[in-house]
Amino acid sequence: MQVRLVERAMRGDQEAFATLAAASVDRCYALACRILRDPHRAEDATQQALLGAWRDLPTLRDPERFDAWLHRLVVNACYQEARGERRWTARVRAITDTPLEPDVARSVAARDELEVAFRRLTPEQRAVVVLHHHLGYPLTEIAATLGLPDGTVRSRLHYAVRQLRAALDTSDARALVTSEEHSA
C-alpha cells in the first residue's frame, strides 16, 4: 500500500504525498524531538524533512526504502537545526510538597543526569543513539540509512553510550549515598 503511494508521489501525485505525509509526520517528529531535545526545533526539522521529501521524491531509487530514506532526511534536518542559532530552552519540573520516595527520587535524578549527558553529545552521536535504542535499528541498518561506514556508526554509538553510562553511574552513586544518609 505504502509503496504504491510512494510511487504515485514520485510521479507528482499530490494526494498520494499528502497521505504519506500525514502517516509519517508523527514518526518524523518523534525522531526529531528525541535527537534535538527541543520541540520547536523538532517541528522545524520535521517540516523541513517532509518538504524535502516531496521535492526529492523523484530521486528516490527504491520506493520500498521510503521510511529509511525519510529518516535520513529527518536526521539531516536535525543536524541543520542543531547547528543553527541556539535558542533558550527551559526545563521546568513541578516541585512536590512531600518528599519523594527514594526510588522515585532516584529515577528523577537519573533522568536528569541522562538529559544533561545526552545534550552534551554531538547531534551525530544522538542520532545513532536514538535510531538504535529507540527505533531498534541494528548498526548496519543505521549505517545504510545514514550513508555511513559501519565503523563510524559503531564508534559514535560507543562514545555516546560511554558518556550516558557514566551519567547513570554518577546518578546511581549519588542515590546510594543519599539512601545511606537517610538510613543513618
Partner 1 sequence: MTRLPDPGFEPRIAGWLEADPDQAPREVLVTVLAAYPSIPQRHAPRVPWRFQPMNRFVSMGAAAAIVVAVSLGGVLLASRGSGPGVGTQPPTPAPTATSAPPPVWPLIPDGTYLGPEQPVADILAQLDADLSLSDTNRAAIADTILGIRGATTYQTKIELHGSSMIVSSGVDGVFAPEGWSIRSAGGDLLVASGSSSAIAFRVGGCDGTRDPCSFTLRATEPATSAIESFVRRITFETGPFEPQP
- Contact flags string 57-96 toward partner 1, x per CB under 8 A: xxx-------------------------------------
Please give the residues from 146 up to 165 whose contact with partner 1 meets the rule CB under 8 A: 161, 164-165
> C-alpha distances in angstroms, 125 versus 16, 50, 155, 176?
34, 23, 9, 29
Cell of 13: 501525485
Tell whether residue 21 is a contact of partner 1 (CB under 8 A): yes
| Closest by Cα among 137, 149, 157 to 67 | 137
Among 28, 82, 109, 146, binds partner 1 (CB under 8 A): 28
Rounded to whole angstroms, the Cα distance separating 13 from 10 reads 7
Are residues 28 and 49 in contact, defined by beta-carbon separation less than 8 angstroms? yes
Tell whether residue 138 is a contact of partner 1 (CB under 8 A): no
User: CB of 12: closest distance to partner 1 in angstroms?
Assistant: 6
User: CB of 18: closest distance to partner 1 in angstroms?
Assistant: 6
Please report which residue ranges of the chain form alpha helices under DSSP H.
2-10, 14-36, 39-56, 66-83, 102-120, 123-129, 139-146, 150-183
Residues that bind partner 1 (CB under 8 A): 12, 14, 17-18, 21-22, 25-26, 28-30, 33-34, 39, 43, 46-47, 50-51, 54-59, 110-111, 114, 129-130, 133-134, 161, 164-165, 168
